[in-house]
A and B are shown apart, each in its own frame.
Chain A
Amino acid sequence: MIKADHVTKQFDGRAVLDDVSAVFETGKTNLIIGQSGSGKTVLLKSLVGLHHIDGGNIYYDDVCYNTLDFNHKKEIRKQVGMIFQGGALFDSFTVEENVKFPLDVFTDLSEEEKLDMVNETLKRVRLENAHKLYPSEISGGMVKRVSIARAIVMKPRYLFCDEPNSGLDPLTSIVIDNLIKEITEEYDITTIINTHDMNSVMEIGDTIVFIYQGKMWWHGTKDDILMSDNEELNNFVFASAMAKRARKNM
């Protein structure tokens, strides 16, 4: 479980996160939704410790994370996997080397054992014929898969995904979404996903936090979301025609 407790974050005096509190549960896919620029990425990066927060606290299973010193943070970070909005694969490494990198740095396994784990993980994300290619040589969907593989190869306890399916076609998006959900349930980890894709919300949204202008505006499940009378949330949700139709049919 990860908990944000009255988190605030400012850039140059401008509040980007304003008193955000939320609980993200273990074994579930927890979604953060909101318009572009609402602060989703900043929230995710604050949770994971890439941004220094200006107020509030962040808990990882009862450990107050933001006040830990570097070495203790490092111990937690070894249990964290993150999928970045742009993939953030290492350009100078092949697909295989990218996925192997965390193993190289943090384990004393033999080369064969590491390659076995890499193969297994790449198979897990259904990517089997790209081991020797460089990130510039693979498609956007493949980049996301490699990125997922690199994030889960160490079997993390916490998984953060920043728009895992942005820029992908609807079919590939659903495959990626379901992959993340599958992994979350199988490993019983805490997964937090940023998205502004309503398809993802309806597909895998176990818990949903709606961020509006840096504030925690609404939270609930995908079953509540269509019934809410929150105006800003409805504007966001029913911007897509599909969701409108879904509501009519209820």
Chain B
Amino acid sequence: MFVTKILGEIGNYMLLMQKVFRRPVKRRVFTRQLMDEMEKLGLNSIGIVAIISVFMGAVVALQMAINLESPFLPKYLIGYATRESLILEFSSTIVALILAGKVGSNIASEIGSMRITEQIDALEIMGVNSANHLILPKIIASIVFFPMLTLMSMIMGVLGGYFIVFTVDMMTPDDFMTGLTSDFRPYLVFYGFTKMIVFAFIITSVSSYYGYYAKGNSLEVGRSSTQAVVSSTIVVLVFNVILTKLFFNY
């Protein structure tokens, strides 16, 4: 019962994606939508991602300093470990989960209320492919913008760590800097970006799906927006495991 329900949902999701990935009718209309979405989904998320990254970077550095307190471990390890945790998981996966909450609920409730106020019907009547018109710009905007948020999060996180090292006086900033720059593998940054691109697609498409098939009243729209956040969070976590396995080939 549960399994058939999930399979049914996946099937509907696939059918929706088939409608989404079509050529837009008019490039000008599409570009305009795309710019709007860049602003709504991307620019408006910069603040929250920056704040969370600075604080998490600081806490991670602090924890590393506390837990790696040992005469046998070189001090620069703290900077190194902080950088690795930011690049590997925090700035992609955790930031994606935050965005699933912020952007996911926003998308689902926006499309959901367009559904129940018949705006989607109005598009269809005009002969516009509503799924393509509404969802494709969101997917593309997030795929382009979210990796930039990841990059920004990496930088802000490192800055947060650097700042805390200055203030609590557990190690010299020079040691921290040595750690940050030692054994730097660009491949891992690439891994972080790739994950974020996949997560961006998951968050926007799954949330759009829940909004697009919302029915009933504003209560139901609220419910589908919660559902959108829950589902996209779970799917992001599952794909995090899958991608990590693929990338490191264990």
> Are B119 and A77 in contact, CB atoms less than 8 angstroms apart?
no
Q: Which residues of chain A from 137 to 172 have any CB-CB distance to chain B below 8 Å in the complex?
A: 160
- Output the least CB separation between B23 and chain A (Å): 13
* Cα-based distance from A77 to B114 in the complex (angstroms): 20
Provide the residues of chain B in CB contact with A250, threshold 8 Å.
Answer: none
* Cα-based distance from A84 to B127 in the complex (angstroms): 16
> Are A88 and B126 in contact, CB atoms less than 8 angstroms apart?
no
> Are A104 and B119 in contact, CB atoms less than 8 angstroms apart?
no
User: Assuming the A-B contacts A104-B26, A104-B28, A105-B26, are A88 and B128 also in contact, with contact meaning beta carbons closer than 8 angstroms in the complex?
Assistant: no
Provide the residues of chain A in CB contact with B29, threshold 8 Å.
Answer: 104-105
* Number of interface residues, chain A, beta carbon within 8 A: 25
> Are A85 and B126 in contact, CB atoms less than 8 angstroms apart?
no
> Are B128 and A105 in contact, CB atoms less than 8 angstroms apart?
yes
> Are B119 and A50 in contact, CB atoms less than 8 angstroms apart?
no
Q: Main SS of chain A's interface residues?
A: mixed
Question: Is A86's beta carbon under 8 Å from chain B?
Answer: yes
Q: Which residues of chain A from 21 to 37 have any CB-CB distance to chain B below 8 Å in the complex?
A: none
* Cα-based distance from A77 to B126 in the complex (angstroms): 6
Question: Is A247's beta carbon under 8 Å from chain B?
Answer: no
Provide the residues of chain A in CB contact with B127, threshold 8 Å.
Answer: 73-75, 77-78, 80, 106
> Are B117 and A50 in contact, CB atoms less than 8 angstroms apart?
no
Which partner residue on chain A sits nearest B28 by CB separation?
A: A104
Binds B, one of A89-97, A126-134, A192-200, A217-225: A89-97
Provide the residues of chain A in CB contact with B126, threshold 8 Å.
Answer: 77-78, 80, 101-102, 105-106
* Cα-based distance from A48 to B127 in the complex (angstroms): 11
Provide the residues of chain B in CB contact with A237, threshold 8 Å.
Answer: none
Provide the residues of chain A in CB contact with B121, threshold 8 Å.
Answer: 45, 50, 82, 84, 88
Q: Which of A102, A105, A160 has the most CB of B within 10 A?
A: A105
> Are B117 and A77 in contact, CB atoms less than 8 angstroms apart?
no
* Cα-based distance from A106 to B127 in the complex (angstroms): 9
- Output the least CB separation between A136 and chain B (Å): 11
Question: Is B7's beta carbon under 8 Å from chain A?
Answer: no
Which partner residue on chain A sits nearest B25 by CB separation?
A: A105
Interface string of B54-98 (1 = CB under 8 A from A): 000000000000000000000000000000000000000000000
Among all A-B residue pairs, the 8 with the closest Cβ atoms: A77-B127, A88-B118, A88-B122, A74-B127, A84-B118, A82-B125, A78-B127, A88-B119
Residues of A at the B interface (CB closer than 8 Å) are 45, 48, 50, 73-75, 77-78, 80-82, 84-86, 88-92, 101-102, 104-106, 160
Q: A81-B125, A88-B122, A106-B127 are in contact. List 14 more A-B contacts (CB 8 A).
A: A45-B121, A50-B125, A73-B127, A78-B127, A80-B127, A82-B121, A88-B118, A88-B119, A88-B121, A89-B119, A91-B117, A102-B126, A105-B25, A106-B126
